[in-house]
């Protein structure tokens, strides 16, 4: 793409139209995406396509100020001296979706996360966006038919934020070479090490670090949060992110936005990047309100190995349009025994890898997802119930007897709007779900761990309901929880006894091993996935069980407990002799 650097309003309009025309031509061409042995995981709109009239093309937003961003950056910024700036088509598609607007002129995305592998070009993209927000037509002024028309923001105040001064330099040091001489002259741009002034000081860009108190109240119009996988509690990263979010929320009409750029984070560090991902996954699972977070990531397939044979193809698919990345060099780094595999997966496969004490890795869990499978009515299943009262989750998970397929039946947690308020799990809803389960499937066994929670009168919270299930369904179950004696029961399965702790620990170890060996499948439910990945390895006298990262953690694991319990119950049922499946008599306790 060759664009002249002429001055004058007419010539400038012609140059902008020429740049935009080139992008429109390239981005609307028919698309052919090859099939790979290890298909990458595509999150967000950048790599999404649509087929119309038998022709496959990139999925582009109907209305976007991104076309203005592409043209403005190509007109006023440069790759090298005398060579106009040009985005990769992948970057261009991201910009179009980032600046997409609704028919009533609101942003489609309130804020966003761009997660890519190391060296992809996140910092250059962030630098160009910062300059466009500083000087370009980045806010909606009018409509030309269905096309939004942009205008510069006269109050532009840009911040590039990081938890260390060195990280802010990743963006700021690019600006001297990126801003053309013509741009400096036309907009009176003055670039310092940590600040940029333009148009007589009326436009301002600054690099800010982890000093939350000094940021409070700042009315920045665009904030670029850099390397949020490093933002944590010990470096004031959370406090800084909270202040930036509050400042953006106070902006008139929601005009201020924030964009996070990050590598894959390490689970368990509780970084801002990890919290962003959890918020996005919770929204997808319907556990929290969707607030308009644009999350865009290109990640290696969960089963992609770190091998000399597979790494070249995998790294090529994950780099996207960043063809400057050195694939042979990346492969050598992956194969270097001095580099931990988890680091190679984060840096070069852009995979979120588990903490050292994680019970299950995302790669192992995602590799056995089978979202297209359905448990048909009247199929034989077993189910496991884990009851809580308020703080933890209450869950019910089933397991198909024929092949061990695991699926979520129900879960109940405190709704997002109830935070800080007293909330109690609705037992009537739980009861209706259990009733619906028995009506839909042939339930051959069900265990329920009631836990030792009490109601306000000091009575056991779940005991009456579980006893009711025993009376209603006990005689149709093929395997009972307790056989014989005073405490005979078909469903109640209190996990606190030593023998049951041993049994559950053995099941938890077996669950992980079978998942790694692809020995069973699950329904891909996002709430179940979240609980499984939240779980941590918890050694005890019987082996390695699972649990929360700490007692006060808000990260729930109860559905993971239910999944292990359901698989355990299936194995118990299959290993029982026919004469052992039902007791002859007993009492309800």
**Whether pLDDT at 210 is above 70:** no
Given a contact cutoff of 8 angstroms between Cβ atoms, the answer to whether 385 and 448 are in contact is: yes
356 pLDDT band, cuts 50/70/90, is: low
C-alpha to C-alpha distance for 523 and 408, rounded to whole angstroms = 8
Q: Tell me what the pLDDT averaged over the chain comes to.
A: 88
Kindly list the structural domains of the chain, giving each domain's residue range(s) and its CATH number in brackets, ordered by start: 9-299 (3.40.50.300), 380-580 (3.30.420.240)
pLDDT digits (tens, 9 = 90+) for 1-28: 544 433 334 468 889 999 999 999 999 9
**Mean pLDDT value across residues 195-199:** 95
Closest CA to 365 of 442, 295, 303: 303
d(CA 334, CA 345): 8
* Closest of 126, 66, 72, 69 to residue 96, by C-alpha: 66
Residue 431 · residue 473 · CB < 8 Å:
no
Q: For a pLDDT cut of 70, what percent of the chain falls above it?
A: 92
Cβ neighbours of 442 (radius 10 Å): 13
Which residues are CB-neighbours of 415 under 8 A, at least 6 positions away?
Answer: 423
Residue with more model confidence, 140 or 577 = 140
- Round to whole Å and give the CA distance between 336 and 281: 33
Quote the CA–CA distance of 94 and 87 in Å, as a whole number.
10
Residue-wise pLDDT for 211-233, tens only, equals 666 677 678 999 999 999 999 87
Which residues, including other chains, have CB under 8 Å from residue 473's CB and lie 6 or more apart? 438, 443, 446, 490, 491
> Where residue 451 falls among pLDDT bands split at 50, 70, 90?
confident
Sorted by sequence, the CB contacts under 8 Å of residue 462 that are 6+ apart come out as 387, 427, 448, 450, 451, 453
As a whole number of angstroms, the distance between CA 338 and CA 341 comes to 9
Instruction: Assign 585 to helix, strand or coil.
Output: coil
Q: Is the pLDDT of residue 583 over 70?
A: no
Say what the pLDDT of residue 555 is.
80
Q: What is the pLDDT of residue 310?
A: 94
Nearest to 271 by CA among 202, 327, 332, 225: 225
Q: What is the pLDDT of residue 8?
A: 39
Which two structure tokens, joined as six digits, stand for 33?
């995406």
CA separation for the pair 571, 578 (Å, rounded): 14
Q: Write the burial class of residue 191 (CB in 10 Å: 0-12 exposed, 13-18 middle, 19+ buried).
A: middle
Cα distances from 139 to residues 51, 157, 257, 281, 405, in angstroms, run 31, 13, 11, 29, 50
Go through 39-76 and write b for each residue having 16 or more CB atoms within 10 A of its CB, e for each that does not: ebbbbbbbbeeeeeeeeeebebbebbbbbbbbbbbbbb
| Structure confidence at residue 579 (pLDDT) | 46
Contact 558, 579 (CB under 8 A): no
Q: Has residue 439 got a pLDDT over 60?
A: yes
pLDDT at 510 over 70: yes
pLDDT at 547 over 50: yes
Give burial (CB, 10 Å; 0-12/13-18/19+) of 584. exposed
Per-residue model confidence (pLDDT) at position 319: 94
Predicted local confidence at residue 584, as pLDDT: 44
Above 70 in pLDDT, residue 207?
yes
User: How far apart, in whole angstroms, are the C-alpha atoms of residue 259 and residue 112?
Assistant: 5
CB-based contacts of 192, cutoff 8 Å, min separation 6: none
- Calculate mean pLDDT across residues 437-446: 97
Whether pLDDT at 250 is above 70: yes
Residue 4 pLDDT: 41
Binned at pLDDT 50, 70 and 90, residue 354 comes out as: low
Confidence at residue 9, expressed as pLDDT on a 0 to 100 scale = 43
Predicted confidence at residue 186, as pLDDT, reads 95
pLDDT tens digits for 82-92? 899 999 999 99
pLDDT at 577: 56
On whether the CB atoms of residues 208 and 243 are closer than 8 A, the answer is no
What is the pLDDT at residue 589?
Answer: 40
Q: Which residue has the higher pLDDT, 270 or 120?
A: 120
In tens, the pLDDT along 157-185 reads: 999 999 887 777 778 899 999 999 999 99
Residue 382 contacts residue 566 (beta carbons within 8 Å): yes
**pLDDT for residue 457:** 73
pLDDT at 144 exceeding the cut of 70: yes
Residue from 66, 44, 47 nearest 293 by CA:
44
The span from the first CA to the last CA of the chain, in angstroms, equals 79
Pairing of strands 78-80, 83-84: antiparallel
């Amino acid at each position: 793409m060759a664009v002249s650097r002429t001055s004058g309003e007419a010539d400038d309009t012609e140059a902008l139209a020429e740049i935009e025309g080139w992008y429109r031509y390239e981005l609307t061409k028919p698309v052919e995406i090859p099939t790979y042995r290890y298909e990458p995981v595509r999150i967000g709109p950048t790599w999404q396509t649509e087929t119309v009239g038998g022709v496959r093309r990139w999925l582009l937003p109907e209305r976007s100020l991104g076309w203005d961003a592409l043209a403005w950056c190509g007109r006023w910024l440069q790759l090298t001296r005398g060579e106009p700036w040009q985005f990769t088509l992948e970057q261009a598609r991201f910009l179009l979706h980032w600046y997409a607007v609704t028919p009533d002129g609101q942003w489609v995305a309130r804020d966003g996360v761009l997660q890519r592998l190391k060296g992809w070009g996140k910092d250059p993209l962030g630098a160009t966006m910062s300059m466009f927000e500083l000087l370009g037509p980045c806010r909606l002024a009018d409509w030309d038919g269905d096309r939004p028309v942009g205008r510069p923001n006269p109050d532009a105040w840009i911040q590039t934020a990081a938890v260390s001064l060195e990280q802010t330099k990743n963006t700021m040091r690019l600006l001297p070479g990126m801003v053309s001489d013509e741009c400096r002259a036309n907009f009176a741009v003055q670039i310092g090490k940590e600040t940029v002034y333009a148009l007589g000081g009326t436009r301002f860009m600054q690099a800010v670090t982890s000093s939350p108190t000094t940021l409070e109240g700042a009315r920045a119009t665009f904030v670029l949060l850099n390397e949020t996988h490093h933002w944590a509690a010990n470096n004031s990263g959370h406090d800084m992110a909270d202040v930036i979010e509050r400042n953006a929320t106070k902006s008139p009409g929601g005009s201020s936005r924030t964009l996070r750029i990050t590598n894959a984070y390490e689970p368990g560090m509780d970084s801002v990047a990890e919290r962003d991902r959890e918020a996005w996954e919770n929204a997808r699972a319907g556990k929290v309100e969707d607030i308009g977070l644009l999350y865009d990531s290109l990640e290696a397939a969960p089963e992609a190995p770190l091998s000399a044979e597979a790494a070249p193809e995998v790294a090529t698919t994950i780099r996207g349009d960043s063809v400057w990345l050195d694939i042979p060099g990346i492969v050598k780094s992956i194969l270097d025994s001095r580099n931990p595999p988890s680091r190679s997966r984060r840096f070069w496969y852009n995979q979120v890898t588990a903490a050292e004490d994680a019970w299950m890795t995302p790669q192992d869990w995602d590799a056995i997802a089978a979202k297209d499978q359905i448990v048909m009515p009247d199929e034989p299943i077993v189910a496991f119930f884990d009851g809580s009262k308020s703080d933890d989750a209450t869950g019910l998970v089933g397991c198909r007897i024929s092949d061990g397929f695991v699926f979520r039946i129900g879960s109940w947690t405190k709704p997002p709007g109830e935070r800080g308020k007293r909330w109690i799990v609705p037992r009537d809803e739980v009861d209706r779900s259990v009733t619906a389960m028995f009506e839909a499937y042939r339930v051959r066994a069900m265990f329920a761990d009631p836990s030792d929670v009490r109601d306000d009168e000091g009575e056991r919270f779940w005991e009456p309901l579980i006893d009711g299930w025993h009376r209603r369904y006990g005689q149709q179950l093929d395997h009972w929880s307790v056989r014989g004696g005073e405490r005979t029961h078909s469903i109640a399965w209190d996990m606190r006894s030593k023998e049951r702790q041993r049994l559950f620990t053995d099941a938890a170890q077996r669950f992980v091993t079978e998942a790694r060996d692809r020995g069973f499948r699950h329904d891909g439910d996002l709430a179940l996935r979240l609980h499984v990945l939240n779980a941590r390895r918890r050694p005890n006298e019987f082996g390695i069980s699972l649990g929360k990262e700490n007692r006060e953690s808000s990260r729930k694991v109860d559905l993971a407990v239910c999944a292990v319990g359901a698989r355990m119950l299936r194995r118990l049922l299959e290993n029982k002799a026919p004469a052992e499946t039902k007791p002859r008599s007993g009492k309800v306790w």
